[in-house]
Amino acid sequence: MSRTALGRTLVEKIIARASGKDSVRPGEIVTCQVDLAMILDSGGPRKVWPRMKELGVGVWDRDKIIVCSDHFVPAVDTETANILKIARDFVKEFNITHFYDMVGIGHIVLAEHGHLAPGMFACGGDSHSPMGGAYGCYMAGFGGIEMTGVVITGEIWTRVPETIRVDWSGKFAQGVVAKDISLTLCRELGMDNAFKAVEFGGETVRAMSMGERGVLCNMAAELGAETGMIEPDETTLAAMRKAGREPDADALTWRSDDNAAYAAKHTFDANTLSPQVAAPHKPSNSGPAGDYKNVKVDQAYIGACVGAKLEDLHMVAAVLKGRKVAPTTRLLVAPATKKIYAAAAADGTLSTIVDAGAIMLASGCGACAAMGAGILSDGEVCIASTNRNFKGRMGSSTAEVYLGSPYTVAAAAVAGHIADPREFLN
């Protein structure tokens, strides 16, 4: 069958629409109109604004630019305070409509406030921007120079990626969640999938909440892919309505054709999956949690865009209920947003976590990217619910960071060493 006779993938359909073309093919370079652009305090106004001043230009659309302060919050020194002030001054200067200052991690904030919808072409100034793909939109991360162009013109060129289809069937065993899928895929598919989009599907994915779907798309970045995407369904539409956004009439039409041409197709069985842990210094260094049971931990960290959602805090509470954090280990918890913080306080989750001996931190990126409280010292060992464990990622270059699900991190906090969380779940 010829390439022209084949159907189109979801990413090809979105890029075709954004570029004003009837169709596009993988490898083609096109210029796209941007529907939404998110910039953060870390790589946003402080890098974009100086270039804008040199060029003597303003923003393309104050309603379509989302600004979030989440990396350097709250400020811990004069330098970070100045970075935050630049972001606030930028918002005032250009009368930006949507500014979320110390509200939470931008990738979660976008979903909470109804900014994402199927079929959108969106850009983010952060490598984990693909999390937006859980809503059936194309969202990729770009650097400061590229985002400067987006903020000024509302356009960006892109190379149409090939799509890898990944299907999961079956049901999770107790204590197994989306993070375990992501760590498995990092090992099985590798971290060098450049110029690819990863499309997740199958009955396991369709049964997931939007938050869990977001974990898969977010960690497409760890696979080295341009973005991760999931076809929208009724779960997607319900989440949009909860966030105050009514879906378009064609929302469920944004999906790959049955005869779409994929670069590769993979199938996995969730029934056989166990809790996973990634050892330093790559997410692909993963294996069953039980393989690391002799690793003692100084710090257990619940945080980041993939690991501190409300359902993640519920996982932590399920392990901690009636137990105490080991005296040799500190457990730090940073809920992803203020809304999540409030919800966890209202339903008693925070009480369970604090009673067990955890230390609560402010909502934001924090220790995940070695910013704010929770940074690691020389030689310390940490297990975290974050997405990345590169050398020096959370502080000292001699520290060692293991990755696991919130269940697994909480289990390690209680045991004082890495453990299979199923041992702590009734």
Rounded Cα distance between 228 and 219, Å, is: 8
The whole-number pLDDT of residue 369 equals 83
> What type of residue sits at position 250?
D
Q: What does pTM read for this prediction?
A: 0.94
Count the neighbouring beta carbons within 10 Å of the beta carbon of residue 209.
Answer: 15
Domain boundaries, the chain: 3-268, 278-424
Q: Residue 2: which residues within 8 A CB-CB, separation 6 or more?
A: none
Buried b / exposed e along 30-64 (16+ C-beta atoms within 10 A): bebebbbbbbbbbbbbbbbbebbeeeeeebbeeeb
Same topology for domains 3-268 and 278-424, yes or no?
Answer: yes
Highest CATH level, class, for 278-424: alpha beta
Q: Residue 397: which residues within 8 A CB-CB, separation 6 or more?
A: 391
Cβ–Cβ < 8 Å for 288, 294: no
- Please write the tens of the pLDDT for every residue from 292-341: 998 999 999 999 999 999 999 999 999 999 999 999 999 999 999 999 99
- Please write the tens of the pLDDT for every residue from 127-145: 999 999 999 999 999 999 9
Q: Is residue 3 over pLDDT 60?
A: no
pLDDT band at 373 (very low <50, low <70, confident <90, very high): confident
The angle at the Cα of 156, spanning 152 to 157, to the nearest 5 degrees, equals 150
The whole-number pLDDT of residue 2 equals 47
What is the chain's mean pLDDT, rounded?
95
- SS3 call for 216: helix
* Topology given in CATH for the domain delimited by 3-268: Aconitase; domain 3 (3.30.499)
Q: Residue 210: which residues within 8 A CB-CB, separation 6 or more?
A: 111, 134, 135, 235, 236, 239
